[in-house]
Chains A and B, each alone.
Chain A
Amino acid sequence: MKNKKKLSDSNLLLLITIVIFFVMYIGAVVFLKGGFLRPQAFLNILNTNAALIILASGMSLVMITGGIDISVGGQMALISMCCAVYLDYMGGNIFVSILIALAIGLAFGAVMGFLVAYLDIQPFIVSLAGMFFARGMTTIVHTAPFNVANEAFTKLKGTRIIVPGLGSVNRKGIYVDAYIEIGVIVALLVVVLLFILLKWTKLGRAFYAVGGNKQSALMLGINVKRTKFLAHLLCGLLAGIGGYVLFLNRGSGAVTNGNGMEMDAIASSIIGGTLLTGGVGNIIGTLFGVLSLSTIQNIVSSAGFDEAWWTGITIAGMLCLFLVIQSIVMSRKKSS
């Protein structure tokens, strides 16, 4: 037994998440039967949550360095509103709109990263202010929600990628292809790239080192401030990408876009095994965190609790559960 490698914290938390996801999904398939068996049901989870996957990945990065960013939901609203206004009222170009989205995300990331890393201000306060700023700015840009009618945009929004071999026969006996939206490709690409970044690059290792122990990271010669700044910058960039993907998914500019999304992103990261205290986390875990969260939402709504408030309560409940698990794991580790 002694030779057997002990599971590290990171792997243990990741394992818990993946097991819980599969148990939940199988449970849903067995007890609810309501179409959870079709591959499209799973792909739909991806379709509706592509933006959240991107957002949660960025959140995990910041959380691994020991920070937090609750402004990402507000940023998404601002991005979708700005892009919508630009495309519809100014007859804008679709590539420029993507650039606008990225620029807004990067600007938020840069300012907040500077305040957190170089001025040593609590990340929570900074991003709380960022959140209110973004939400306030959104209403200043435009108040009423509206659908975007720009031709090039609606074409891009309607683009569907057919997944071969996963289609199913519907009730009328017609074969329907399974599809995913563009956002899913982007999201998966982001996950793969971040996985590589965290696992095999110098910067990725610096993230873990800074989050694990600032002092020893400093002694190892890591530029702690720059690393933190870069984490926030990346999170901002990902919020920009995620904001655009959400915009593509919804096709409208609205103040309520991305409402509560920061919460879902944090919950997904935590469920995925990222520790709030920093230093531990995994992008694959975050992906599974998002999937678990949306599966449980689907279960809750198809089990008859379709009133809006149940979603909020279940997410909060899950978050609470995982926070307590983390706290216990950490205190055990300390005592051992």
Chain B
Amino acid sequence: MSDMKKKTSAGGILSKLMRNQIFIPLAALLLLVIINLIAGPSFFKISYSANNAGNMIFSGYPITILDFGSELAILAIGMTLVTAASGGQDISVGAAIAIAGSVMLRVLCGNAGSRPETMQAPIIVAFLVGCVVAMLFGAFNGILVAYFKIQPMVATLILYTAGRSIAAWINNNELPIIKEPVFGYFGGTIPGIPIPTPIIIAVVCMIVTALVLKFTTLGLYTQSVGINEKSARLNGLNPTFIKFLSFVILGLCVAVAGLIKVSRLSTINYSVIAKDIEMDAILAVALGGNALSGGKFNMVASILGAYVIQFLTQTLYRFKVSSDALPAYKAVVVIVLVVASAPTVREKLSSLMKSRKSHAKEVG
């Protein structure tokens, strides 16, 4: 008797866990860890040693994943809000990162040509200008979606096409290079701190997001607009403004991610920078178990999803997949995820489970 009770309670916890949204990214993470363990546990070794510049830093694949997953995690924050509010995704984030990065470099170069010996403006000014521009482009997307009621993906298609061209145009198609090492701190490491800076920036962004979601009504309003726009309006919310706001917030996330991206190389390549990152960001939201059609969201699951994507990328690299071929594998993952979360498939699966259960009962 007691034995049975234990069994049911264990089953209860398991099913509770399975119903929790965070289960999907955790399961994916576990799967990746197991695959990598089988292929060789040296993957998880973290060493503490001096880098080329003579600073003591942590290094190893787990750190690399956290480091290079930072931009994606930051983007996932904004993308989750956009997805929840508008029921669509912004596919222009990669192009917008190119614009933001290009603007920052333009400000830093000033009038001193494209290869200045010293920066012509403080980094903070360049960053703020980049933020404003990125938020303006976010506002442009937001206006098309919220006020003109164009499907988000189609509306952002405009910037997706034009973005990289605009980025090239801002710098006259030159490739500016910032020689001062200070600029490289944001994408590399600060001397004396053993953790790569992008990880710190990502953590700061997460803390800010957590505080905003905890102490403001942004999360609640966004979800209610996503779940039912009409009833949200009847309850005194302004759905148009909230949708617009979500795109502007995504613009801010884009600017931060753009700073990291540009700082990593201290230069920019308009056609390659943040290429295909929109796919990864959408994938992160989907992997976090958030409905791509809007409504409720779970920020923690999205961010975890972003790191899982980076883990996947790193694993694929490990198995000697070239970076050009990566999208093919990720596309398969997307399709599997989307199919698994499709309502029709879920219904069929659950009815299948039920019939099996009842069958088992009959036999018992």
Interface size on B, residues (CB 8 A): 47
Query: Given the complex of chains A and B, what is the CA–CA distance between A137 and B327 in angstroms?
Result: 8
Please state if B157 and A263 are interface contacts (CB–CB under 8 Å).
yes
Q: Enumerate B308-354 residues with CB–CB distance to A below 8 Å.
A: 322, 324-332, 334-335, 338-339, 342-345
Chain A positions within 8 Å of B166 at CB level: 309, 313
Instruction: Verify if B47 is at the interface (C-beta below 8 Å from A).
Output: no
Are the CB atoms of A312 and B164 closer together than 8 Å? yes
Cross-chain contact of B345 among A119, A136, A317, A324 (Cβ < 8 A): A119
Instruction: Mark the stretch among B125-133, B144-152, B194-202 that contacts chain A.
Output: B144-152
- The residues of B that contact A328 with a CB separation of less than 8 Å are 148
The distance from the CB of A128 to the nearest CB of chain B, in whole angstroms, is 7
Kindly list chain A residues whose C-beta atoms are within 8 Å of the C-beta of B325: 136-137, 139-140
- Contact residues on A (Cβ < 8 Å of other chain), bracket: 35 or more
A121 / chain B contacts, CB cutoff of 8 Å: 338-339, 342
Contact A68 B324 (CB under 8 A): no
* B159 on interface, CB distance cutoff 8 Å: yes
Query: Is B154 in contact with chain A by the CB < 8 A criterion?
Result: yes
Asked if B293 lies at the interface with its beta carbon under 8 angstroms from chain A, I say yes
CB distance from A254 to the nearest CB of B (A): 13
Q: Of all chain A residues, which has the CB nearest B152?
A: A124
Asked if B282 CB lies within 8 Å of chain A CBs, one says: yes
Which residues of chain A from 305 to 332 have any CB-CB distance to chain B below 8 Å in the complex? 307-313, 315-317, 319-320, 323-324, 327-328, 331
Contact B344 A143 (CB under 8 A): no
- Of residues 218 through 241 on chain A, the ones whose CB sits less than 8 Å from some CB of chain B are none
CB-based A-B contact count at 8 angstroms: 131
Contact B161 A263 (CB under 8 A): yes
Tell whether A266 is near chain B: CB-to-CB under 8 Å: yes
Name the residue of chain B whose CB is nearest to the CB of A315.
Answer: B161
- A266: chain B residues at CB < 8 Å are 154, 157
Min CB distance B229 to A, Å, is 15
Q: Which residues of B contact A124 (CB under 8 A)?
A: 88-89, 151, 153-154
Least distance between B139 CB and chain A CB atoms (Å): 14
Q: Does B241 contact A (CB under 8 A)?
A: no
Do B327 and A255 touch across chains, with their CB atoms under 8 A apart?
A: no
For window 36-95 of B, CB contacts with A under 8 Å fall at 88-89, 91
How close is B273's CB to chain A, nearest CB, in angstroms?
15
The answer to whether B335 and A136 have CB atoms under 8 Å apart is no
Known: A136-B324, A136-B326, A313-B162. A323 touches B331 (CB 8 A): no
Cross-chain contact A136 with B331 (CB below 8 angstroms): yes
CB atoms of B332 and A312 under 8 A apart:
no
Q: Which chain A residues border B157 with CB–CB below 8 Å?
A: 70, 263, 266, 319
Interface contact A128-B91, CB-CB below 8 Å: yes
Instruction: Report the bound CA distance from A122 to B342 in whole Å.
Output: 10
Contact A132 B328 (CB under 8 A): yes
**Complex interface residues of chain B between 234 and 254 (CB less than 8 A to chain A):** none
Structural contact, B158 and A324, CB atoms closer than 8 A:
no
B274 is an interface residue with CB less than 8 A from chain A? no
Query: Does A189 make an interface contact (CB < 8 A)?
Result: no
Is B165 close to A, CB under 8 A? yes
Closest chain-B Cβ to A119's Cβ sits at a distance in Å of 5
User: Taking the complex as formed, is A281 at the interface, i.e. its CB lies under 8 A from any CB of chain B?
Assistant: no
Q: Are A331 and B324 in contact (CB under 8 A)?
A: no
Q: Mark B272-284, 1 if CB is under 8 A from A, else 0.
A: 0000100100100
Decide: B331 and A132 in contact? CB cutoff 8 A: yes
Q: State A120–B291 Cα separation when bound (angstroms).
A: 13
Query: Who on chain B is nearest to A266 by CB?
Result: B157
Among B155, B158, B164, the most chain A Cβ lie within 10 Å of the Cβ of B158
- Are B328 and A140 within 8 A (Cβ)? yes
In the bound complex, CA of A223 to CA of B17 (Å): 40
Asked if B120 is at the interface of the complex by the 8 Å CB criterion, the answer is no
Inter-chain contact A136/B329, CB cutoff 8 Å: yes
Complex CA gap A140/B325 in Å reads 6
Q: Is B118 among interface residues, defined by CB-CB distance under 8 A?
A: no
B344→A119 contact, CB < 8 A: yes
- The verdict on A310 contacting B165 (CB below 8 Å), with A115-B339, A125-B334, A132-B327 known, is yes
* B168 located at the interface, meaning its Cβ lies under 8 Å from any Cβ of chain A in the complex: yes
In the complex, per-residue mask of A117-136: 1 if CB is within 8 Å of any chain B CB, else 0: 01111101110111111011
State the Cβ distance, B114 to closest chain A Cβ, in Å.
16
**Which residues of B lie under 8 Å from residue A309 when comparing CB positions?**
164-166, 168-169, 173
Nearest A residue (CB) for B143? A324
Q: Is A28 an interface position by the 8 A CB rule? A: no
Q: Is the CB of A323 within 8 A of B154?
A: yes
What's the nearest-Cβ distance from chain B to residue A313, in Å? Answer: 5
Contact call A68/B154, Cβ cutoff below 8 A = yes
Q: Cβ of B292 < 8 Å from any Cβ of A?
A: yes
Judge whether B165 and A308 touch: CB under 8 Å.
yes
Task: List residues of chain A with CB within 8 A of the CB of B329.
Answer: 136
Q: Give the residues from 275 to 326 in chain A that come closer than 8 angstroms, CB to CB, to chain B.
A: 276, 307-313, 315-317, 319-320, 323-324
**Contacts from A to B (Cβ < 8 Å):** 68, 70, 115, 118-122, 124-126, 128-133, 135-137, 139-140, 143, 255, 260, 263, 266, 276, 307-313, 315-317, 319-320, 323-324, 327-328, 331
CB-CB nearest 6 A-B residue pairs: A136-B328, A316-B162, A309-B165, A312-B165, A132-B327, A133-B331
8 extra interface residue pairs, beta carbon distance < 8 Å, beyond A125-B338, A131-B331? A115-B338, A120-B342, A133-B328, A308-B168, A309-B165, A312-B164, A319-B157, A323-B158
**Interchain residue pairs with CB less than 8 A apart (30):** A115-B335, A119-B344, A121-B342, A122-B293, A124-B153, A126-B335, A128-B282, A129-B334, A130-B331, A131-B331, A132-B279, A132-B327, A132-B330, A132-B334, A133-B335, A135-B328, A136-B330, A137-B325, A139-B324, A309-B164, A309-B173, A311-B165, A312-B164, A313-B162, A316-B159, A316-B161, A319-B157, A320-B158, A323-B148, A323-B154
